[in-house]
């Protein structure tokens, strides 16, 4: 069983301790460090190189947004999972633009948080469909300004197809089932998408596509 190393970045000690106790019950989770502010989160991320960072948005010294941006600049493969009490659009968009792989509110259940950690580690999206719709609306490109896919996108036809289905919030297994291909093939396509777009997570790839106008609101469930 592969151990998932986790760094906790949360300024409230009680919340941080509670999260640690919850996650440490899982045999495949290992908490490698705790940060009480954004600067410490960046420092520990560089030193410890965790698989997943659970990051709050509002923290002392350096915000979660800027901390995530700095971490992703030097560790593009790390998965940043936001766990916060703020559901404001600007926080959501700023964190995702900075490179966060998922966005959760602190009212989620323990099981949901555990599942989210495993999901972002596996490259799965952790963005609620309602948040995706907000993203689609925010970055919608007017039809007249939208360039044809073959001109505006470096992706192959199949890679674009996989990314569009991923934008609906579907898992690798669901994408494989819809396209009648293996999960391994889906993963290979997603890795190629990441490399071509210069991103490190599915959420970043989806956000990139939204900004380019590759998806329409009608394509979401």
> Do the beta carbons of residue 99 and residue 201 sit within 8 Å?
yes
CA dist., res. 30 & res. 48, Å (int): 12
* 65, two tokens: 């947004």
Q: What is the dihedral of CA 172, 219, 146, 135, to 10 degrees?
A: -80
Residue 129 inside a domain? The answer is no
> Do 87 and 164 belong together in one domain?
no
> Do 96 and 146 belong together in one domain?
no
> Do 35 and 95 belong together in one domain?
yes
Number of domains in the chain: 2
The model's pLDDT over 76-120, given as tens digits with 9 standing for 90+, comes to 889 999 998 887 778 888 888 888 888 888 888 899 899 989 988
pTM of the entire predicted model: 0.76
CATH number at residue 77: 3.40.50.2300
pLDDT-derived band at 71 (thresholds 50, 70, 90) equals very high
The model's pLDDT over 139-185, given as tens digits with 9 standing for 90+, comes to 665 544 444 444 467 889 899 989 888 877 778 888 888 889 998 89
> Do 93 and 161 belong together in one domain?
no
> Do 107 and 145 belong together in one domain?
no
> Do 21 and 115 belong together in one domain?
yes
Domain that holds residue 29: 4-122
CA dist., res. 97 & res. 219, Å (int): 21
> Do 149 and 195 belong together in one domain?
yes
> Do 104 and 39 belong together in one domain?
yes
> Do 165 and 80 belong together in one domain?
no
> Do 50 and 80 belong together in one domain?
yes
> Do 206 and 172 belong together in one domain?
yes
């Amino acid at each position: 069983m592969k151990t998932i190393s986790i760094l906790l970045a949360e300024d409230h000690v009680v919340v941080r301790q509670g999260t640690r106790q919850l996650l440490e019950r899982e045999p495949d989770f290992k908490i490698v460090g705790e940060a009480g502010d954004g600067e410490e989160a960046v420092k520990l991320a560089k030193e410890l190189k965790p698989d997943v960072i659970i990051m709050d948005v509002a923290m002392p010294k350096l915000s979660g947004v800027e901390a995530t941006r700095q971490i992703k600049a030097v560790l593009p493969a790390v998965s940043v999972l936001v766990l916060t009490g703020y559901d404001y659009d600007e926080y959501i968009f700023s964190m995702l633009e900075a490179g966060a792989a998922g966005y959760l509110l602190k009212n989620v259940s323990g099981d949901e948080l555990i599942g989210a950690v495993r999901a972002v580690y596996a490259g799965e999206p952790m963005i609620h469909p309602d948040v995706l719709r907000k993203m689609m609306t925010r970055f919608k490109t007017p039809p007249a300004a939208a360039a044809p896919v073959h001109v505006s996108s470096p992706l192959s036809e199949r890679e674009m197809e996989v990314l569009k289905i991923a934008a609906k919030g579907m898992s690798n297994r669901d994408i494989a089932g819809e396209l009648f291909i293996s999960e391994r093939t889906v993963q290979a396509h997603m890795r190629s998408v990441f490399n071509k777009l210069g991103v490190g997570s599915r959420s970043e790839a989806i956000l990139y596509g939204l900004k380019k106008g590759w998806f329409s609101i009608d394509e979401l469930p």
